[in-house]
Chain A
Amino acid sequence: MPAPDAPRNVATVNAGELEIEVVAWITKFVGGDGSTRKVFHLPLRTDDTVRKALRRLSGRFPQLHKALWDPMTGDLAEHVEVLINDAVLDLTHNLDSPIEPSDKIALIGQYLGG
């Protein structure tokens, strides 16, 4: 475990499982009905990052993959909000931050106003 104030962008060795919660509308992309939530537990691998974990999940669900990633850049598209421990991406973690078993990722649909 890194020290509490160690920079989060230093890769570390992880073990255990990571929880990814898919919320409401986005569950449509992972075999759900678009309501409530679905929770996935992914085995963590050495040097896992947010990006790698999301890639592994989206690799199982083509519709999620299409919604999540920009095919031109390979980065996240704008359609899905990614929260890490209830904080939006880039606040405490970026895509290449390492993750630990205690971290929780949530995927939420982008807000479409009005």
Chain B
Amino acid sequence: MQEELPGGYAGKILRVDLSQNRTWTEAWTAEMCRTCIGGVGLGIKILWDEVPAEVSWDHEDNRLVLATGPLAGLPAWGTGGLTVVTRGALTNGATNTQANGFFGANLKYSGYDAIVLQGRAPEWVYLYIHDDTVELRDASALLGKDTWETQETLEQMLDLTGHQLSVYTSGLAGENQVRFAAIHGDYGHVASKNGCGAVMGNKRLKAVAIVRGSKALRAADPRGLWMAAQEIAEDLQYDPSTRSLYEYGTLPGVSGLSRLGALPIKNYTTNVVPEGVDMSQWTAQGLREGFDHRGHQCNSCGMHHCHAQVLPSGPHQGAIVDEPEYEGWSGAGWAFGCTDPVATSWLNTQVDRACVDVNEFGWLMGWVVECQEKGYVTKEQLGGLTITWGDAEAANALLQMIIRREGFGDVLAEGVKRASETVGGPAAECAIYAMTGNTPRGHDHRARWEEMLDTCTGSGGTLDSGPPVLPTEMGQPARINPFDPDAVARMVGGTRGRRQFEDSLGTCIFTTRTLLSILCRTLSAATGWDFTKDEALLFGRRTAALMRAFNIRCGITPDLERPSKRYGSVPVDGPAQGQDIGAHWEHLLDVWYDMVGYDRQTGKPLPATLEDLGLSHILADLWDAREATHAGT
């Protein structure tokens, strides 16, 4: 007799072997649902079980997990979530990265909670899913197309429009295995971290196209779910901490971070807004109302966050683009000195269409401009191109070279760490990256020490903890001195686990900015469990520790947990002038390691930590018996 599953689950994991042109399904067990939940919790279990050390990111046996979670497709805000988990191209370690849109809902309505891809197709294919019809189809008509063109072409081929079809693709960057290629879908939603799109391209998978399915999805307690979802929605609309997010998404970031010295300007060479820049254009309202715009919401979402906009002026006047997130304004703008909102908005969509991570792109452009200005990279190397601070058209020309791996674009396609190491000399000292290969998010972390520590120690290709959300609920102070190394490390270590829990639910992290206890109530209503805050944090920390264990097995060791020279440099001006994180780096690591229960020398989760987290079964994979006896003593 088939075991009854918790509510919220479609009940099956779709397996696809691209080498063998074979698809099959696997059923969940109720126990697996509770221990893995979904998203990154499920994905990292698959990586740990199925991707051994010798299977590098570009090996055909690498797994690409496209997962939803138990809340995806249910009537709560932002429940179209996609989590991508794989062994990624930038770190050659674990990847945990999210996008939204409609993927998660459409997949669940077809009867699947996740897709696990393995192998490499002999010829380019796309994966078509509609209920029980699952096919690998010829993708030759899609080759060479960018992300938007791929979606438009599939809509025409399949005679579907709007939200009937969700398409995720890695664009031209994925086809050419650009190391920071992303996976993009539904016109503006990007899972961008750690070169997950390069993995997709390596598998010769051009796209995943999911028709909105027709299968029922059941919540265990529909009334309880509705009430919890309503509580979250009211929190988002009326709580002072989230009201700006509800109305404007991440747009307030530029003006706020510029006052804190945390807006990255011109490759970290300054933190002072250039004279003549009208910052009123860069407030949330300036960025929203400066363009004709309309809402472009994700599945079942009432936030006024995602928008499409029309360029009001300039060489591309009239073009419809995706309203950039804060990180788009930063990576396609300020990071390389572009302070024109219209040019930045246009370039941000070119980055999305090309399908690369906008953070890595920003650090790369800033590095190229500075290197050319200082004579470290010549015009000849750039194929006759001159790029100066803020030149969006030249940046796009370089972007097109990168995604085709043309000329110097082939060097830049490896990402800023490897490109700067290839050029060498003083150019190597100007590049912004974490030594693990993790791409820093789009801020100046020299004024946000929490995020620099989190980026350098993170196991998922980006931040592991992220900016703290309601930290007092986790026993942490409401605020800390951002330059107090002890407080910083305690906050990063002490808030660990919440992010991994959120990333397993199948929702958007912007619609989970509420109390953890409310999220647990929502999950419980969906599934029928009695899920508590303590269980959520235990789950999150277990997931983070398993990612860490996977990376240790991949050879990513603690000696890499530090910033590059420029990334860890001292700001020369602005509000954080003179703050030197490098002077405190070892202490930050000491405190952080102590907080999370990992071994400071080897980076491994300590045996006692593994036991506390319910991971005793992997102890022998990480520690030999003699080491285990003495570790942590």
By a beta-carbon cutoff of 8 Å, the part of chain A in contact with chain B is: 23-25, 28-29, 33-36, 63, 66-67, 70, 73, 75-79, 81, 83, 86-91, 106, 108-114
B53 → chain A closest CB, angstroms: 33
Do A70 and B286 touch (CB < 8 A)? no
Residues of B in contact with A, size category: 35 or more
Q: Is the CB of A70 within 8 A of B478?
A: yes
A29 to B257, CA, bound (A): 19
Q: Whose C-beta in chain B lies nearest to the C-beta of A86?
A: B575
**Could you tell me the distance between the alpha carbons of A70 and B478 in the complex, rounded to whole angstroms?**
9
Q: How far is the CB of B494 from chain A (nearest CB, A)?
A: 14
The docked-state distance in angstroms from the alpha carbon of A33 to that of B247 is: 12
Chain B nearest CB from A40 CB (Å) reads: 17
Whether the Cβ atoms of A90 and B484 lie closer than 8 Å is yes
The distance from the CB of A57 to the nearest CB of chain B, in whole angstroms, is 15
Interchain CB contact under 8 A, A24 and B255: yes
The reply to whether the CB of B483 lies closer than 8 angstroms to some CB of chain A is yes
- With known contacts A34-B285, A88-B482, A114-B327, A77–B241 Cβ distance under 8 A: yes
- Contact between A25 and B256 (Cβ–Cβ < 8 Å)? yes
What separation, in Å, do the CA atoms of A79 and B257 have in the docked complex? 14
What separation, in Å, do the CA atoms of A35 and B282 have in the docked complex?
Answer: 9
Let me know if B262 and A87 touch, CB within 8 A: no
Contact status A108-B509, CB under 8 Å: no
Q: Which residues of B contact A79 (CB under 8 A)?
A: 240-241
Partner of B256, one of A24, A28, A76: A24
Given contacts A23-B259, A112-B510, 7 further A-B contacts (CB under 8 A): A24-B256, A78-B470, A89-B479, A108-B256, A110-B241, A111-B262, A114-B249
> Which 10 pairs of residues, A with B, have the shortest CB-CB distance?
A67-B240, A90-B481, A35-B285, A79-B241, A78-B478, A25-B244, A114-B250, A35-B283, A24-B283, A24-B255
A-B CB contact pairs (8 Å), 23 listed:
A23-B256, A25-B252, A25-B283, A35-B286, A36-B283, A63-B240, A67-B240, A78-B478, A79-B241, A81-B256, A81-B260, A86-B259, A88-B575, A90-B480, A91-B481, A108-B256, A109-B252, A111-B256, A111-B443, A112-B253, A112-B510, A113-B253, A114-B325
Choose one: A24, A89, A90; the contact of B284 (CB below 8 Å): A24
| A-B contacts at CB below 8 angstroms, number | 114
Provide the bound-state CA to CA distance between A83 and B253, in Å.
16
- Asked if B245 is at the interface of the complex by the 8 Å CB criterion, the answer is yes
Q: Is the CB of A78 within 8 A of B479?
A: yes
Within 8 A of A (CB), among B234-273: 240-245, 247-250, 252-253, 255-257, 259-260, 262
Q: Does B513 sit within 8 A of A, measured CB to CB? A: yes
A24-B252 in contact (CB<8A): yes
Q: Which residue of A lies closest to B244 (CB)?
A: A25
B residues 92-119 in Cβ contact with A at 8 Å: none
Known A24-B256, A66-B240, A114-B325; judge A78-B471 contact (CB<8 A): yes
Q: Are A112 and B471 in contact (CB-based, < 8 A)?
A: no
Q: Please give me the residue from chain B that is nearest to A79 by CB atom.
A: B241
